[in-house]
Structures are given as structure tokens and as C-alpha cells.
């Protein structure tokens, strides 16, 4: 059953919605548990499925890259659900108002996940676009989930408008592609396109690149990110920062490799310029942020710039490097967000300065947060360093030494602002009345796992090697 | 796991042990650190002995070798698809550096005996830092090297930021960022070297077989050299060093000036010159000129300082200039001098910072003018200070003399690729620094230790206690050993320097 993981996710969404009808307010926490079980089942189904193949007349294809994206996406959703549970169940020291409707929350979350999983497997313009919308539209609702919070509403509205704009660009680009080639199959379009280079073609390229850039927060299409990240409920911010980044990358894979694969080599310079501006702007703006969620938004923008290095060349190692770094990024970023969510649950605060003295009030969480931030900054021997090193290596092998230098210097700049947080945690003394801040078991276990991932992924080569082995021949069929 | 891996793992295991002890048993923490680094010193002794046994018979063969020979090699494939491996071993230069580091961390732990805030974190970070340093000196895979290199730099931020004095946060941030920008350029160079070789490996010796074009070496060599130069305090990128050293707590200054700054010289010699001999020839004179500025500027700067730590930090800038100057001379004398200077300056500056910490712990001031006559109440510390000072101004019989003589002779001999007049002039200018050094060392020490006791509070101060005597005694003993019996040390390093020289071609 090639489509089993996707179907399980959709089924879980529906089951959660139905079961909710029969639960009282006191037993409604069960919906979270059911969601987790459903995701576990989907993960198990994905892991045990080693077959690759096509369904629905070639409109739905599972290949090595799609398989890895499925795993990454389910992982991101799984952790997000755990992170959401305390907040939604009201199991926090500081109650966050307006966060009810658990079953609907999980259901909507699962639908976005299903959309994301379909997106990377789709091979047809129609299914491609529909799954993109399925991944995006429920997200608006999630961003605006805190009904009586003005910021949350603002986040939702901004997200709707800007995402709708990028979707309309994408659909325009797709229409042009169809007009040029008369095909809806992505591979067929990629094959035929070289015969149709003209103004309309370049217009389509511009539309799709702008749309993809917006989904992946590439500068200058990143404007929605900061406000949405800040306003959305924090678990959703976490989900946006990893899952939506992951699906952005999947979208880039589909567009750049599958449709425009033939031009990617010539377009390297353009990719390098996007990469350079994205990482530089993201890093520069992050320096002046005070709110930690906004701060993480710009950090995420700059990370998108590093990912783009993988498209240079292009070669097989780039695919593996990007997928591996996505895994590392998901684990690391969720590691940071677990701390942010925990701290917000316990103290209700989200400014960077509020973290002062954390190393005294909860040394273990401070340590884990520090290590995760170092990993984001690319400090060895953590996984973030290894992932970035592989990406830099791709750029270097493509001859973009200036870009490697810029990226490496950017990593140092990013270290500067990550150190600002670390300085608050470790160097500044805690408030006089500060007491030890407790942590719930759920969050502690999650953070411990993520922390282990941050450390181990960089040291144990198995996972990278298996990604590399799986995707070694993937690109050869697409680049002509 | 072989001996070399143990040398890297031991500080790390000690760190884990320290982390597992609850904070309230802080006495136990410092004992664990002391015992761990003591055992490390024994391991280093064993390594030196076994290396001596293994390497001495090969010394003659190395005179003409093109590639350095490693001993006790361990290699395990790591990220195979990228040609990255865990590849450690030793040659003469790394043995010398390991001895240095091992001595400094042991004495550094003893010098931090009286740290009383957040003891666990302090020793944990110190040991983590030193793990990185050993890793750098022992690894021969560029990826592994770089990994350890950054691991050695980063704990510095917290060590200075938390336990430092004065404008500690500013200094810590400046130091970390400058060093990491330096390492960013090193990283670019490493990747370029890897891809340009077409060999699909990060193995240093194997990359040594690659023939890089002159155009390639023209831009990559200065990049890597300057990248390492930042941590080696190359003028004008040395500005992190005085601030960093003066804000850091005692043991951290010791490790930083004593060992970490040596990573720069080591990397420049081991990687930049080894892999890119042509680039070294093109740029040798430029770097010689820059390091001459280093040497003079540092010593002139030291004259004007009133704070003992700034005083020593500027003198370190000057002395580290000798290391890179020696590397830039591109001849046997210069290379030997650079390695001996790395060692002797490491010991010397470790001694200085250790002593300053001890004096400061008693007088609570580091301002030279406020002190006076301390020799009367603390004769042991004063004696040690004087020996260190004399070594630093190059008195024969102490390690500093051996090093400086080699470096100056090397500079004077010059090399076939740089204008002889220029190298001779630069050497003569650099030699002037000896006079300047004598001025500031003697004047500074006389101010602090000689004359009448200026402040009545000083009359009841105590002399060194046992851990302090032990650590300073060990350092001074090493200075004397290298100073009086330099041939042992030279025999240790020379066979490993010859390949570097042979690769330059003559």
C-alpha cells in the first residue's frame, strides 16, 4: 500500500473529529492521544514501506525523496502535537486564553500534514496544486487559533493575504506551463519544456520561483514570516518553522528539479544570489529582535538561505545534503521551540531578556537550549555543523567559493545573536525572587529525545549515509 | 582504542565525570579535574617515550622525505560518501604540542583551585575546551581538525563571560566572533583544497600528494594562513587578544595564551605551508613584514600598560609574532624556531598568567603602579616571576633564548624566494624588540616586587601555597629543561619538520 501513510493521517483526522462528539470536556484530552497514535501508525506504515511505485495512473508516485520527506513531515507533526498537548489541555502554570477546540485543532493540523505528504508525491499539476492548498489553507486557521488575541488574528490575516498571493502566482505559472506544453504531468512538462523557451516560459519561471520562494521564506518573498511566527500560538509557530519549511523545500524540489531541471545548472548564479541575500538579510535582521518568536522567524529565514546552497551544481550529493540538513534542522529547531513553549507555559513570557538566569532556575533545560542554539549556529560537533558543512561542500564543489565564505561568515553573525540568548541564560543573574522552574514529563522526554538527536546526528554517520545511498540515483533521471 | 584516542578521550571523560558530580561536592570536582589531568600528563609521558622509541630510528630517512610520517595512527571511516574519516596520529610537532597542552591544563587546574562560583560548570567547560585542543593537535583529517578547532574556541565565550573580570561580556563576544570569522576562512580554504584535489578525501597526507596550481595557491594560501593568523594574533587581527586575556579568569588566560594561540601557528605550519608550498613562497615576505609589525608593536604596546594582564597580553602578541615570523621565513631554522617558540611561549605565558592570578588573589589589584615590594612577602612567587620574565626577554639558559635565536637566525638566512635584503632588514628590525622586551619586563617586575612595600595591607600577605608551588615549579622546570638541554627537544621535532622543508624544494 503505497498511499497508506497518507490515508492513515486523513483517517486519523476524521476519527478525531467524530470521537470528539462523544467525549466530555474532562476526557477530551484523549483526542491528543488518538492523534499521536494515528501519527505513530502512519510513521510505522511509512517506515515499513520500502516499495517505490506509482498510483492513480502516475499521478501519485512514491520514490526515495518522497519517502524521506514523508518521514520528516510525520516527525515534525508528531513532535508538534506533543508540544501542543500541554497548552491545549490547560496544563500550564500560565493559562493561555482562547485556545480551545482541541479536536478541531488536531484535525486541522492533520489535514495540513496530509496535504504536505501528498505534495511531494504528486506528479500532476492538478494534484500538485490541490495538495499545496490543502497544506496551506488549514494553516491560516491554525495561525489565528487564539480567538481573543489580536496578534493571532493579525497573523492569520497576514498569512491569508500573502499566502493567497503566492498561491495565485503559482497557479498562474502552472497555467502558463500547461499552455506551453499541453501536459499536466510534471515529468512530461519537464521533458517538453526545452522546446518552448520564450517570453511566456520565462514568465512562468518567474511566477513559480516567486511562489516557491514565498513558501520557503526566501528573501525577498519572506515578509509574511515574522508577523505570522510572532502572532501564531507557539506550538503552531514551531510547526510552521519546521513543517512548512520542509514542505517549502519539497515544493522547490518539485519545481526546480522536476520542471526546470534542465536549466538549474545555468541558473546557479541566480540561486546563489538568492541564497546570499536570504542568509544575509535573515541574519542581519535577527540581530535586533527582542521577541524570541520573531527572532526565531528571522533565524528560520537565514536557514532557508543555507538550504539553497544544495541546489548549486546541481548534483546528487546536494539532494542528500539538503534532506539531511532538513532532518537536522527539524530536530534542532523543535529542540529550541520545546524550550520556548515550556518557558511560556510556565512563566507566560516570550521576550529574549526574560530568559535571564535560566541556567540557575533550570540548568538542564538551559543546557539543552544552549546546545540546540549552537547547533543552529553550526558549531561542531553538533549536527547543525555537519549538515551545514555538507551544504557548504556542495557550493564549494560547484565553484562558488565566495558564497561559501559569505555563508561561513554569516554563520558567525548568527552565532552573535544566538549568543545573545545564551548570554541571558548563562551570564546574567536570575531575578532575586526567581525559583526553580519545573517542567512537565511530556516536555522533558520530548526535549531529551530532540537533544539526543541534535548531538547524535552529527556524530553517527548512519542516517546521512542511508539518505545518500537512497537518493544517489534520484537526480540522474531528472537532469538531462 | 589506542593511546592517541585515549589522549583525546581522557579530558572528555573527566568532563563527564565532573558533570555527574552534584554541585555541592565542589571539592570533589576539583580533585577529579586534577586527577584526570594528572593522569593525562602520565599518558603524555608514555606517548613521548613510545614516540621516541619508534621515531628515532626513522630520523635519518626523514631528512629527504616529502611526506610527514605518522605514528600510532588510528583511522576509522566516518562519513564515507564524503571521504571523511576519524584519523588521528602523532608526529614530532604534535607530540611537542601535546606535552605543552598537558602541562598547561594540569597547572591550570591547580591554578584554579580556589575558584568558588559555579565550580562544576567552570571545570566542565575547561576540560571540554582542552578536549578540543588535543583533538586539533592529534587529528590529520581536515574535517576532524576543524571540528575540534571550533570546539576549542567556543567554551571560551562562557568561561570569560561568566568568570571573567572587567568588561567581560564585551571581551568574550569580541574574542569569540573574531576567532570564528577566522575559522570561517579556514573552512572555505579546507573545502577548496578538498575539491580542487579531486581526490575525494580530507586526509591531510593524501591531500599532500595533490598538485595544486599556482593560481589556486595564490588565493587559498593567504586565506588559510590569515584564518589561522587570527587565532595566532597576526597583526592587525590581534585586537581580540589583549581584551580577551585581561578579562579572562586565570586558568583560562593560561590555556588561551599558552595553548589556544598556538593552534594558529600550528595550523599555519601544518596545513597552510604543508599543502601549499608555492603559495607560501609567494606570500612569505608579506607575512614576514606583518609579523615584524606584530613583534615590535606588541612589545611597544606592553611598555605602556599599567595592568599586569594587559602587560602580559601585549607581550604575548609580540611573542606569538615570533611563531608566525618563524613560519614565514620558510627555512629549517625558522620552522624549528617557530615550533620551539610555540612551546616555550606556551609554558612561559602560562606561568605568567598563573602568577598574575596568584598575586591578584592576594593583592586584589593588577595595576603595576599600586604594587611594590611584594618580593619581600612572597619570595617564591617573585622568583618564579623573574625566571619567567628572563625567559621572555631571551636570557640564555632558558627556553625563550633557544626559540628566539632560531627564529632570528632563520630570518637572517632568509630563503631563495624572498629578496634577501628585505628579509635581513625585517629581521634586524624584529631583533630590536629584544631591547624593548628587556625594558618592559625588568621595569614592570622591579615595580611590582622590588623597593619598599607601598601599601601596609601588603605586609601580611602570604607566599605561594602547595598547589601553587607545584604548578609554578613544574612550569619553570620545563623552561629550564628546554633552555639547558634544547637538543632533546630539537631531536624530537626536527624529523617532522624536514618534510615541510623538502616540500618547498630547494
Contact criterion met (CB < 8 Å) for B195 and A396: yes
Question: Residue A195: which of A258, A262, A252, A268 has the closest Cα?
Answer: A262
Residue B72 located in a structural domain: no
Whole-Å CA distances, B315 to B242, B266, B369: 9, 20, 18
pLDDT digits (tens, 9 = 90+) for A49-82: 877 888 888 888 888 889 999 999 999 999 999 9
Q: What ipTM describes this predicted complex? A: 0.90
Q: What pLDDT, on the 0 to 100 scale, is given for residue A78?
A: 94
Residue B424 located in a structural domain: yes
B146 closest CB neighbour out of A380, A405, A416: A380
* A-B Cβ pairs (cutoff 8 Å, strict): 84
CB-CB neighbors (< 8 A) of A356 in chain B:
none
Does B427 have pLDDT greater than 80?
yes
Beta-bridge partners for A60: A55, A122
Q: How far apart are CA B283 and CA A261, in angstroms?
A: 43
Does A480 have pLDDT greater than 60?
no
CB B360 within 8 A of CB B165: no
Q: How far apart are CA B166 and CA B196, in angstroms?
A: 46
Which residue did the predictor score with more confidence, A128 or B372? A128
Q: How many residues does chain B have?
A: 506
B175 to chain A: nearest residue by CA? A416
Contact criterion met (CB < 8 Å) for A380 and B148: yes
CB-CB neighbors (< 8 A) of A409 in chain B:
181, 184
Residue A367 located in a structural domain: yes
Percent of chain B past pLDDT 70, that is, above it, reads: 100
Q: How far apart are CA B5 and CA A37, in angstroms?
A: 44
Residue A198 located in a structural domain: no
Question: Residue A352: which of A432, A288, A409 has the closest Cα?
Answer: A288
Contact criterion met (CB < 8 Å) for A385 and B147: yes
Q: How far apart are CA A403 and CA B18, in angstroms?
A: 41
For chain A, how long is the longest CA-to-CA vector? 72
Structurally, chain B folds into a number of domains equal to 1
Residue A275 located in a structural domain: yes
| C-alpha cell, B207 | 591531500
| C-alpha cell, A343 | 518557558
Does A35 have pLDDT greater than 90?
yes
Does A38 have pLDDT greater than 90?
yes
Q: How far apart are CA B346 and CA A353, in angstroms?
A: 39
State whether residue A473 is helix, strand or coil.
coil
Q: What pLDDT, on the 0 to 100 scale, is given for residue A41?
A: 94
Residue B68 located in a structural domain: no
Q: How far apart are CA B273 and CA B283, in angstroms?
A: 11
Does A94 have pLDDT greater than 80?
no
pLDDT band at B506 (very low <50, low <70, confident <90, very high): low
State whether residue A7 is helix, strand or coil.
helix
Beta-bridge partners for B203: B141
A360 to chain B: nearest residue by CA? B118
Whole-Å CA distances, B256 to B168, B227, B295: 15, 17, 19
A390 to chain B: nearest residue by CA? B82
| C-alpha cell, A244 | 512548512
Q: How far apart are CA B31 and CA B110, in angstroms?
A: 9
State whether residue A266 is helix, strand or coil.
coil
Contact criterion met (CB < 8 Å) for A412 and B161: no
pLDDT digits (tens, 9 = 90+) for A286-310: 988 899 999 999 999 999 999 999 9
Contact criterion met (CB < 8 Å) for B161 and A427: yes
| C-alpha cell, A189 | 512538462
Buried b (16+ CB within 10 A) or exposed e, B427-443: beebbebbebbbebbee
Contact criterion met (CB < 8 Å) for A405 and B161: no
Buried b (16+ CB within 10 A) or exposed e, B91-110: bbbbbbbbbbbbbbbbbbbb
Contact criterion met (CB < 8 Å) for B185 and A405: yes
Percent of chain A past pLDDT 70, that is, above it, reads: 99
Q: Which residues of B touch A (CB under 8 A)?
A: 78-82, 121, 143, 146-148, 150-151, 154, 157-158, 161-162, 169, 173, 176-177, 180-181, 184-185, 187-188, 191-192, 194-195
pLDDT band at A176 (very low <50, low <70, confident <90, very high): very high
Closest approach of B82 to chain A, Cα-based (Å): 8
Residue B63 located in a structural domain: no
Q: What pLDDT, on the 0 to 100 scale, is given for residue B241?
A: 86
Residue B325 located in a structural domain: yes
| C-alpha cell, B265 | 601557528
User: In the predicted model, what is the mean pLDDT of residues A236-264?
Assistant: 89
pLDDT band at A99 (very low <50, low <70, confident <90, very high): low
pLDDT digits (tens, 9 = 90+) for A426-479: 888 888 888 888 888 888 999 999 999 999 998 888 888 888 888 888 888 776
DSSP letter string over A158-206? HHHHHHHHHHHHHHHHHHHHHHHH---BHHHHHHHGGGG-SHHHHHHHH
Mean pLDDT lowest among A327-336, A381-390, B255-264, B461-470: B461-470
State whether residue A16 is helix, strand or coil.
helix
Residue A442 belongs to domain spanning: 265-480
Does A412 have pLDDT greater than 60?
yes
Q: What pLDDT, on the 0 to 100 scale, is given for residue A97?
A: 67
C-alpha atoms less than 13 angstroms from C-alpha of A97 in its C-beta half-sphere: 5
Tell me which range, A34-48, B398-412, B420-434, is most confidently predicted by mean pLDDT: A34-48
Q: What average pLDDT does chain A have? A: 89
CA A129 distance to own-chain centroid: 19
| C-alpha cell, A85 | 498537548
pLDDT digits (tens, 9 = 90+) for B244-285: 888 888 888 888 888 888 898 899 999 999 999 888 888 888
- Residues in Cβ contact with B240 at an 8 Å cutoff, skipping those fewer than 6 apart: B171, B174, B175, B178, B179, B230
Helix (H), strand (E), coil (C) string for B171-203: HHHHHHHHHHHHHHHHHHHHHHHHHHHCCCCCE
Helix (H), strand (E), coil (C) string for B216-242: HHHHHHHHHHHHHHHHCCCCCCCCHHH
Structurally, chain A folds into a number of domains equal to 1
Whole-Å CA distances, B100 to B13, B103, B125: 20, 5, 19
The 10 Å Cβ neighbour count of residue A148 is 9
DSSP letter string over A318-364? HHHHHHHHHHHHHHHHHHHHHHHHHHHHHH---BGGGGTTHHHH-HH
| DSSP letter assigned to residue A480 | -
Does A128 have pLDDT greater than 60?
yes
Contact criterion met (CB < 8 Å) for A385 and B194: no
Contact criterion met (CB < 8 Å) for B194 and A393: yes
Mean pLDDT lowest among A21-25, A335-339, B326-330: A21-25
User: In the predicted model, what is the mean pLDDT of residues B453-468?
Assistant: 79
CB-CB neighbors (< 8 A) of B162 in chain A:
426-427
pLDDT band at A249 (very low <50, low <70, confident <90, very high): very high
Q: How far apart are CA B326 and CA B319, in angstroms?
A: 11
Helix (H) or strand (E) holding A61: strand A60-62
User: In the predicted model, what is the mean pLDDT of residues B27-33?
Assistant: 88
CA A14 distance to own-chain centroid: 24
CB A365 within 8 A of CB A358: yes
CB B209 within 8 A of CB B140: no
CB A251 within 8 A of CB A335: no
Does A48 have pLDDT greater than 90?
no
| DSSP letter assigned to residue A430 | P
Residue A130 located in a structural domain: no
A412 closest CB neighbour out of B177, B188, B191: B177
B195 to chain A: nearest residue by CA? A397
pLDDT digits (tens, 9 = 90+) for B174-205: 899 999 999 999 999 999 999 888 888 898 88
Residue B64 located in a structural domain: no
Tell me which range, A384-388, B107-111, B387-391, is most confidently predicted by mean pLDDT: A384-388
- Residues in Cβ contact with B31 at an 8 Å cutoff, skipping those fewer than 6 apart: none
Q: How far apart are CA B393 and CA B398, in angstroms?
A: 10
Residue among A405, A417, A429 with most chain B CBs within 10 A, to mutate? A405
Percent of chain A past pLDDT 90, that is, above it, reads: 42
User: In the predicted model, what is the mean pLDDT of residues A147-153?
Assistant: 83
Residue B469 belongs to domain spanning: 3-57+78-504
Per-state percent for chain A, helix, strand, coil, to nearest 5: 80, 0, 20
Q: How far apart are CA A312 and CA A391, in angstroms?
A: 9
Residue A232 located in a structural domain: no
Q: What is the CA radius of gyration of chain A?
A: 21
Residue among B84, B119, B135, B188 with most chain A CBs within 10 A, to mutate? B188
Does B157 have pLDDT greater than 60?
yes
Does B18 have pLDDT greater than 70?
yes
Residue A55 located in a structural domain: no
Q: What pLDDT, on the 0 to 100 scale, is given for residue B434?
A: 86
CA A448 distance to own-chain centroid: 20
Does A101 have pLDDT greater than 80?
no
Burial label for A34, CB within 10 Å (0-12, 13-18, 19+), is middle
Question: Residue B239: which of B169, B296, B310, B303 has the closest Cα?
Answer: B310
Q: What pLDDT, on the 0 to 100 scale, is given for residue B54?
A: 86
Amino acid at each position: 500500500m503505497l498511499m497508506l501513510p497518507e490515508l492513515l493521517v486523513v483517517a486519523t483526522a476524521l476519527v478525531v473529529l467524530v470521537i470528539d462528539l462523544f467525549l466530555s470536556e474532562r476526557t477530551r484530552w484523549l483526542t491528543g492521544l488518538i492523534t499521536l497514535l494515528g501519527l505513530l501508525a502512519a510513521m510505522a506504515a511509512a517506515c515499513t514501506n520500502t516499495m517505490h511505485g506509482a498510483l492513480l495512473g502516475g499521478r501519485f508516485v512514491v520514490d526515495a525523496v518522497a519517502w524521506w520527506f514523508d518521514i520528516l513531515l510525520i516527525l515534525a507533526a508528531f513532535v508538534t502535537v506533543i508540544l501542543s498537548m500541554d497548552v491545549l489541555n490547560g496544563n500550564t502554570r500560565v493559562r493561555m486564553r482562547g485556545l480551545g477546540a482541541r479536536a478541531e485543532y488536531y484535525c486541522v493540523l492533520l489535514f495540513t500534514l496530509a496535504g504536505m505528504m501528498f505534495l511531494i508525491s504528486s506528479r500532476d499539476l492538478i494534484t500538485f496544486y490541490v495538495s499545496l492548498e490543502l497544506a496551506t489553507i488549514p494553516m491560516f486557521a491554525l495561525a489565528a487559533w487564539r480567538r481573543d488575541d489580536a496578534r493571532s488574528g493579525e497573523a492569520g490575516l497576514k498569512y491569508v493575504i500573502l499566502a493567497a498571493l503566492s498561491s495565485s502566482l503559482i497557479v498562474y505559472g502552472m497555467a502558463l506551463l500547461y499552455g506551453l506544453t499541453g501536459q499536466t504531468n510534471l515529468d512530461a512538462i519537464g521533458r517538453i519544456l526545452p522546446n518552448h523557451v520564450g517570453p511566456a516560459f520565462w514568465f512562468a519561471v518567474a511566477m513559480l520561483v516567486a511562489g516557491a520562494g514565498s513558501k520557503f521564506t526566501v528573501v525577498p518573498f519572506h515578509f509574511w514570516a515574522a508577523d505570522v511566527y510572532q502572532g501564531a500560538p507557539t506550538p503552531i509557530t514551531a510547526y510552521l518553522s519546521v513543517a512548512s519549511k520542509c514542505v517549502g523545500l519539497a515544493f522547490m524540489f518539485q519545481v526546480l528539479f522536476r520542471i526546470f531541471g534542465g536549466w538549474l545548472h545555468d541558473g546557479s548564479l541566480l540561486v546563489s544570489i538568492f541564497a546570499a541575500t536570504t542568509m544575509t538579510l535573515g541574519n542581519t535582521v535577527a540581530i535586533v529582535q527582542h521577541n524570541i518568536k520573531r527572532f526565531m522567524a528571522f533565524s528560520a529565514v537565514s536557514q532557508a538561505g543555507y538550504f539553497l546552497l544544495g541546489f548549486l551544481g546541481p548534483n546528487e550529493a546536494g539532494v542528500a545534503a539538503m534532506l539531511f540538513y532538513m532532518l537536522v534542522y527539524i530536530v534542532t529547531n523543535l529542540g529550541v521551540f520545546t524550550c520556548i513553549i515550556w518557558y511560556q507555559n510556565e512563566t507566560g513570557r516570550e521576550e529574549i531578556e526574560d530568559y535571564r538566569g535560566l541556567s540557575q532556575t533550570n540548568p538542564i533545560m538551559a543546557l539543552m537550549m544552549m546546545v540546540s542554539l549552537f547547533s543552529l549556529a553550526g558549531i561542531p560537533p553538533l549536527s547543525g555543523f555537519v549538515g551545514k558543512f555538507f551544504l557548504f561542500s556542495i557550493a564549494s564543489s560547484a565553484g562558488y567559493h565566495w558564497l561559501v565564505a559569505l555563508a561561513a561568515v554569516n554563520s558567525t553573525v548568527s552565532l552573535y545573536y544566538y549568543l545573545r540568548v545564551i548570554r541571558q541564560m548563562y551570564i546574567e543573574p536570575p531575578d532575586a525572587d526567581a525559583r526553580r522552574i519545573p517542567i512537565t514529563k511530556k516536555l522533558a522526554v520530548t526535549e531529551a529525545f530532540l537533544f539526543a538527536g541534535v548531538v547524535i546526528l552529527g556524530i553517527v554517520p548512519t542516517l546521512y549515509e542511508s539518505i545518500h545511498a537512497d537518493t544517489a540515483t534520484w537526480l540522474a533521471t531528472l537532469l538531462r | 582504542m589506542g593511546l592517541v584516542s585515549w589522549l583525546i578521550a581522557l579530558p572528555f571523560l573527566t568532563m563527564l565525570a565532573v558533570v555527574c558530580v552534584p554541585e555541592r561536592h565542589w571539592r570533589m570536582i576539583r580533585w577529579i579535574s586534577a586527577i584526570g589531568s594528572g593522569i593525562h600528563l602520565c599518558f603524555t609521558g608514555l606517548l613521548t617515550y613510545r614516540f621516541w622509541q619508534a621515531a628515532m630510528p626513522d630520523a635519518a630517512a626523514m631528512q629527504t622525505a616529502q611526506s610527514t610520517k605518522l605514528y600510532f595512527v588510528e583511522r576509522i571511516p566516518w562519513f564515507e560518501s564524503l571521504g571523511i574519516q576519524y584519523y588521528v596520529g602523532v608526529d614530532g610537532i604534535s607530540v611537542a604540542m601535546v606535552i605543552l597542552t598537558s602541562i598547561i591544563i594540569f597547572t591550570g587546574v591547580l591554578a584554579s583551585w580556589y575558584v568558588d562560583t559555579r565550580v562544576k560548570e567552570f571545570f566542565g567547560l575547561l576540560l571540554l575546551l582542552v578536549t578540543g585542543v588535543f583533538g586539533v593537535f592529534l587529528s590529520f583529517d581536515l574535517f576532524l581538525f576543524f571540528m575540534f578547532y571550533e570546539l576549542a574556541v567556543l567554551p571560551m565565550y562562557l568561561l570569560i563571560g561568566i568568570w571573567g573580570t572587567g568588561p567581560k561580556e564585551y571581551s568574550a563576544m569580541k574574542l569569540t566572533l573574531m576567532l570564528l570569522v577566522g575559522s570561517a576562512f579556514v573552512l572555505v580554504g579546507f573545502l577548496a583544497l578538498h575539491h580542487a584535489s579531486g581526490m575525494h578525501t580530507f586526509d591531510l597526507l593524501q591531500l599532500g600528494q595533490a598538485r595544486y596550481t599556482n593560481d589556486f595557491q595564490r588565493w587559498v594560501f593567504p586565506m588559510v594562513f590569515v584564518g589561522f593568523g587570527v587565532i595566532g594574533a597576526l597583526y592587525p587581527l590581534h585586537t581580540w587578544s589583549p581584551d580577551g586575556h585581561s578579562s579572562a579568569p586565570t586558568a583560562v588566560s593560561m590555556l588561551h595564551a599558552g595553548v589556544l594561540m598556538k593552534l594558529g601557528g600550528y595550523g599555519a605550519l601544518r596545513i597552510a605551508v604543508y599543502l601549499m608550498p608555492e603559495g607560501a613562497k609567494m606570500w612569505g615576505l608579506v607575512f614576514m613584514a606583518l609579523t615584524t609589525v606584530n613583534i615590535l608593536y606588541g612589545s611597544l604596546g606592553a611598555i605602556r600598560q599599567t595592568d599586569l594582564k594587559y602587560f602580559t597580553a601585549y607581550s604575548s602578541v609580540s611573542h606569538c609574532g615570533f611563531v608566525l615570523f618563524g613560519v614565514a621565513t620558510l627555512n629549517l631554522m625558522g620552522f624549528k624556531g617557530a615550533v620551539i617558540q610555540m612551546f616555550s611561549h606556551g609554558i612561559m605565558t602560562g606561568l605568567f598568567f598563573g602568577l598574575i592570578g596568584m598575586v591578584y588573589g592576594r593583592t586584589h589589584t593588577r595595576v603595576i603602579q599600586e604594587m611594590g615590594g611584594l618580593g619581600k612577602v612572597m619570595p617564591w612567587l617573585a622568583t618564579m616571576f623573574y625566571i619567567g620574565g628572563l625567559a621572555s626577554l631571551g636570557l640564555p639558559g632558558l627556553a625563550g633564548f633557544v626559540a628566539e635565536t632560531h627564529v632570528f637566525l632563520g630570518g637572517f638566512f632568509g630563503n631563495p624566494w624572498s629578496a634577501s635584503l628585505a628579509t635581513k632588514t625585517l629581521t634586524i628590525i624584529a631583533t630590536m624588540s629584544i631591547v624593548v622586551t628587556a625594558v618592559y619586563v625588568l621595569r614592570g617586575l622591579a615595580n611590582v616586587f622590588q623597593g619598599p612595600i607601598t601599601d601596609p595591607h601588603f605586609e601580611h600577605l602570604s607566599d605561594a601555597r602547595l598547589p601553587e608551588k607545584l604548578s609554578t615549579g613544574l612550569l619553570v622546570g620545563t623552561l629550564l629543561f628546554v633552555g639547558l638541554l634544547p637538543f632533546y627537544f630539537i631531536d624530537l621535532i626536527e624529523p617532522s619538520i624536514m618534510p615541510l622543508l623538502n616540500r618547498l624544494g630547494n
